[in-house]
Structure 1
Amino acid sequence: MDTTTTNTLTSAAIEVGTDLREGFASVGDVTLHYVEAGEGPLVVLLHGFPAFWYSWREQIAPLVHAGFRVVAPDLRGYNLSSKPGDFTDYTADKPAADIRGLIRELGSETATVVGHDWGGSIAWTLAMNSPEVVDRLVILNAAHPRKLNEGLKNPRQLLRSWYFFYFQLPGSPERRAARDDWKFFKGFLRDAQPEYTEQELDQYTAAWTQPGAATGMIDYYRAAVRHGSKQKVLPISAPTLVIWGQDDRYLGAELAEPHKEDVPNLVSVERLPNASHWVHHDEAARVNELLVDFLGPATLSS
């Protein structure tokens, strides 16, 4: 780890409000970078696009204070994690297998898995494919795969998801993303309420400038459009909480609630009317309260 990385982690730790430990885990054919804090039952936080582990800076300390060991990885393709070179390396089952491997590499049999946006899609897939490793599941503004496929048949949702299809172009999205100090990627963050500060945006920019990161991030969309409809949907057994910012310009509110047969142990869908897609930033205190209440006393978690 070079000095720049160390300084970035130190400055981020000040924002997080608790000591952070950094690690790298080899899982299958990739290496995942992660930060962790606390001791106790494991909670894994999976970020979305165009973020990285830092997206969870407002959730880490409250979960640590509640008695949990919190691990926030960079997904494959992001920041300091490996960046496989083909879009087929980003079909949902592969990053989901990464997280299963990470849980085991961290010395745990199971974890509570919390996912936002793409991290939520991966969390859905992990809970379907590897139910034995998921104690509890929390989803923030990420449609269940069946609901998303249904939604993309609706013209209104298609308009919301225009970038899914723009990202299919070879090379052009990456070139556009890097222009004007990453203005395009920053645009995905600008609808947060309140907006991200320049200091926060600098952290994201540092992650985006990692070699190969822009392509790795966009390849999730290339894989989803070309292979997402082939994903097998299995019932999810884990108790599940959905937290949904209603003022999401990317995903319609009708996508929040999964079908009962797909998630039979759905505990609640908590809709936060004044939050955007970045619900864990906009309503951090309420999201943290919901997470801690749902997870229950740390001593009861496995």
Structure 2
Amino acid sequence: MTDRISSVTRGGLVLDVYDEGPIDGDVVVLLHGFPERADCWRLVAPLLHEAGCRTLAMDQRGYSPRARPRRRRDYQMSELLGDARALAEAAGGRVHVVGHDWGAIPSWLLAIHHPELVASLTAVSVPHPQAFLASMVRSTQGLKSWYMLAFQVPFLPERLGRSRGGFLDRQLRAAGMTAEDVDRFRARIVDDGALTTALNWYRAMPFGDPRLSRGRVTVPTTMVWSDHDIALGRWGVEHTVRYVDAPYRFVELNGVSHWIPTQAPDALADAILDRVRSVGPGAA
């Protein structure tokens, strides 16, 4: 396709898309996590462009200003998958999908349920959904994920989040986020009115069909994880290979925190490009 994509509309919601790089390059879809927006890819995307790739970085539901429904159920996994599918279809399908943190979940689901749209998958930080669920009871992951339960409490996380230098800011710093990126979080999420709708990704977890997260991946896949990630442990990523029936690579980044796209952009870009090139030129 030769037209730039500035947004994707689905169910009355308008999701902003940042379409950059060579218009005729292999398409790489970039899906961000919590609590960031599409600009978390600002250091990775130019490296992909230099290699000839076109990137589509989307502000996902809850973050994009025209896509912030208030109900928790509007953020269940089927809706996240639907948004990712809509972007892949708008790009003509056979896209290379990259997702970090929460963005890895719709990426995994798209590869599981719509492999015809996915040329390759690079999951960053978050393992296959089934491996993650297993890790909650077979490792220390349940303890690492304490915040998921805390975020279910109404109003309190928002109150803590609105306090500059308060609890949420300190937790983000403890997780390895730089002071500059905490300031970006405050401007792009808190001050822009997206904190509650971003938290709704967690609050929607009790809704929806858990069977959606089951299934095997049949597209070439790379799992990227960093050993200083305090939110995601080793067990889930090491067992992800059990759920992939395709060429698979595990990339471990040493000395890097959870925020891989901004703290190890060169290594992440290399992993993405290795996976894209493994599929062959023009696959997207």
TM-score (norm 2): 0.89
Structure 1 match to 2:21: 38
Letter of the aligned partner of 2:18 in structure 1? V
Structure 1 match to 2:35: 50
Distance 1:73 1:153 in 2: 33
Contact 2:76–2:207 (Cα < 8 Å) also in 1: no
Query: Is there any run of 5+ residues in structure 1 with no aligned partner, and where?
Result: 1-20
C-alpha RMSD of the superposition: 2.3
Q: CA deviation at 1:26?
A: 1.0
Structure 1 match to 2:59: 74
Give runs of aligned pairs for residues 230-269 of structure 1, distance below 5 A.
230-269=211-250
Structure 2 match to 1:133: 117
Give runs of aligned pairs for residues 1-302 of structure 1, distance below 5 A.
23-39=6-22, 40-106=25-91, 108-154=92-138, 156-180=140-164, 184-185=168-169, 187-188=171-172, 190-192=174-176, 195-198=177-180, 200-209=181-190, 212-227=193-208, 229-296=210-277, 299-302=281-284
Query: Is there any run of 5+ residues in structure 2 with no aligned partner, and where?
Result: none
The 10-residue stretch of structure 1 (228-237 or 134-143) with the greater mean CA deviation from structure 2: 228-237
Structure 2 match to 1:5: none
Q: What do residues 80-122 of structure 1 show as CA deviations (whole Å, max 9, x unaligned)?
A: 350111111111221111111122224x122100000100111
Q: CA deviation at 1:58?
A: 1.0
Q: CA deviation at 1:259?
A: 4.4
Q: CA deviation at 1:29?
A: 3.2
Q: CA deviation at 1:57?
A: 0.9
Distance 2:170 2:78 in 1: 28
TM-score (norm 1): 0.84
Equivalences, count = 278
Distance 2:196 2:174 in 1: 21
Identity of aligned residues (%): 28
Q: What secondary structure does 1:36 align onto? A: strand
Specify whether residues 218 and 276 from structure 1 end up closer, same or farther in structure 2 by C-alpha distance, changes over 3 A only. same
Distance 1:26 1:148 in 2: 30
Q: CA deviation at 1:27?
A: 2.2
Contact 2:21–2:54 (Cα < 8 Å) also in 1: yes
Higher RCO (C-alpha 8 Å, min separation 6): 2
Distance 1:140 1:256 in 2: 10
Q: CA deviation at 1:255?
A: 1.2
Letter of the aligned partner of 1:61 in structure 2? P
Contact 2:109–2:213 (Cα < 8 Å) also in 1: no
